[in-house]
Amino acid sequence: MKQENNRRTEHIWYPYTQMGDDFAPKLVEEAKGVNLKLDGQWVIDGISSWWSVLHGYNHHSLNDALKFQIDKFSHVMIGGLIHEPAIELAKSLSTICGRSLNRVFFSDSGSVGIEVAIKLSIQYWMNKKQATKSKLICFKKSYHGDTTGAMSISDPEDSMHHIFSPILMKHHFFDAPSSDPDIKRDQLKKIDVFLSKKHDEIAAIVLEPLVQCAGGFNFFTPDYLDELRNLADKHDVLLIYDEVATGFCRTGTFFAYHQSKTEPDILVCGKGLTGGYLGLAATITSDKVFRAFYAKGEPEKAFMHGPTFMGNPLACSLAIKSIDLATKNNYSQKFLEIQKILEEGLLGFTHPLIKRIRVKGGIGVIEVYNKSDIDGFGEYAFNKGAWLRGFESFIYTMPPALIKESELRKIIGIMKDYFLDKN
């Protein structure tokens, strides 16, 4: 096995991993439904391959969509050319968003989609002759991706990106959103006071709606979004929502912001967009934003950004089918049913090592006091029949929509048994 492990690590540089430490990646041999065959052992995938596998693995409808498109053509540039899958997908996303969000810019990953949103928000004000508006209001416990611009709007201190802080553009950070009425009122008041003095240098407010995921699984209520919308309008700044992780029904509505009464100026989605098959992201804007770039005879106002594989036909075809599956099978309701099972299984469970447990939609999180207390959790879960991972001081599940109740209850049991077996 040592020789085989050496082969797996000889040339590949793995993410978020100290390669000098003992490290034994598992080989995926097959994948079907919500199960992975790892080194000969079938296990339940409880985290959807970084939250992207919406419908499970090897789904026949997605496979068929990919095969159909690949026999026509696999890729063309979107620059003087366009294709039906991109046209249809853009229309579908605009319809789901409704109201004013109806302009879609494609890219190839969530991080790049965020970069697009940042650049759009800053150039929007440049085009309107207000170039001083070039900073963003961001939040602690946020995570928006690993590219440079995305890192600059993620938590600057308590995150994996803090070592890059000397090279990052400086933005303005406020405390992570709270659902506590008194704390929330104070937080929003501070933002209001700040904007009343500094609105002429702020391009946008950027936030993961309802759930700050990789930055610490912080959950908060929809009315926070409405209050931010009011502040953005009051002080004439744009509002950006990062729904790369929260989109596609994960929180119980198609997009998390649909639980609020308002909408952003710019929305970014990715991950589950293609059902976890291929990289694709969409940055969706309102006509208000688009019109600032629409100026005949003024090429300097055009948006100068264009990923090579933006709107890839294969990815767009998958995304059309993925959205169709999520809509026809009422995934919003499915994730609310998952939420109910997670609440029944996790809430109320106590252990001296556990600080807090929380559930939202298809997301269940156990937070511990000391991150060293979950060292070895991944291997423990694997030996019990599930693919789960801990990071920082959290163990969590975010399974595909089609997980069976018995499979979900097994995952919940493994998460709880880990602590019980430590006694």
Q: Are residues 15 and 150 in the same domain?
A: no
**Residue 7 burial by Cβ neighbours in a 10 Å radius (0-12, 13-18, 19+):** exposed
Q: Are residues 105 and 194 in the same domain?
A: yes
Please give the Cα distance from 188 to 194 (Å, whole number): 10
Residue 67 belongs to some domain of the structure: no
Q: Are residues 41 and 84 in the same domain?
A: no
Residue 164 belongs to some domain of the structure: yes
Q: Are residues 324 and 276 in the same domain?
A: yes
Please give the Cα distance from 8 to 40 (Å, whole number): 16
**Which residue among 16, 21, 197, 296 is the active-site one?**
16
Q: Are residues 51 and 77 in the same domain?
A: no
Asked about 271 being catalytic, the answer comes back as: yes
Number of domains in the chain: 2
Of 286, 309, 328, which residue sits at a domain end?
328
Residue 6's pLDDT is 85
Overall pTM surpassing 0.95 (yes/no): yes
**Which residue among 143, 241, 257, 396 is the active-site one?**
143
User: Reduced to 3 states, what is the DSSP secondary structure of residue 29?
Assistant: strand
Q: Are residues 32 and 157 in the same domain?
A: no
Residue 2's pLDDT is 73
Q: Are residues 128 and 269 in the same domain?
A: yes
> Residue 47: which of 420, 422, 394, 421 has the closest Cα?
394
Range name among 148-157, 330-339, 393-402 with the lowest pLDDT average: 148-157
Q: Are residues 83 and 216 in the same domain?
A: yes
Cα–Cα distance list, 204 to 52, 119, 199, 264 (Å): 27, 11, 9, 10
Average pLDDT value for the chain:
96
Phi, psi of 242 (to 5 degrees): -95, 100
**Which residue among 45, 108, 155, 242 is the active-site one?**
242
Could you tell me the CATH number of the domain that includes residue 245? 3.40.640.10
pLDDT at 71 over 90: yes
Q: Are residues 202 and 285 in the same domain?
A: yes
Going by pLDDT thresholds of 50, 70 and 90, the confidence category of residue 53 is very high
Going by pLDDT thresholds of 50, 70 and 90, the confidence category of residue 404 is very high
Cα 293 to chain centroid, rounded: 27
Q: Are residues 40 and 80 in the same domain?
A: no
pLDDT digit string (tens) for 309-365? Answer: 999 999 999 999 999 999 999 999 999 999 999 999 999 999 999 999 999 999 999
pLDDT digit string (tens) for 243-290? Answer: 999 999 999 999 999 999 999 999 999 999 999 999 999 999 999 999
Please give the Cα distance from 276 to 260 (Å, whole number): 27
pLDDT at 135 over 80: yes
Percent of the chain with pLDDT over 70: 100
Domain that holds residue 81: 73-328
Cα–Cα distance list, 375 to 20, 116, 362, 394 (Å): 17, 37, 24, 11
**Which residue among 133, 140, 271, 384 is the active-site one?**
271
Asked about 16 being catalytic, the answer comes back as: yes
> Residue 322: which of 378, 288, 282, 276 has the closest Cα?
276
Q: Are residues 109 and 164 in the same domain?
A: yes
Residue 390 · residue 402 · CB < 8 Å: no
Could you tell me the CATH number of the domain that includes residue 7? 3.90.1150.10
Residue 287's pLDDT is 95
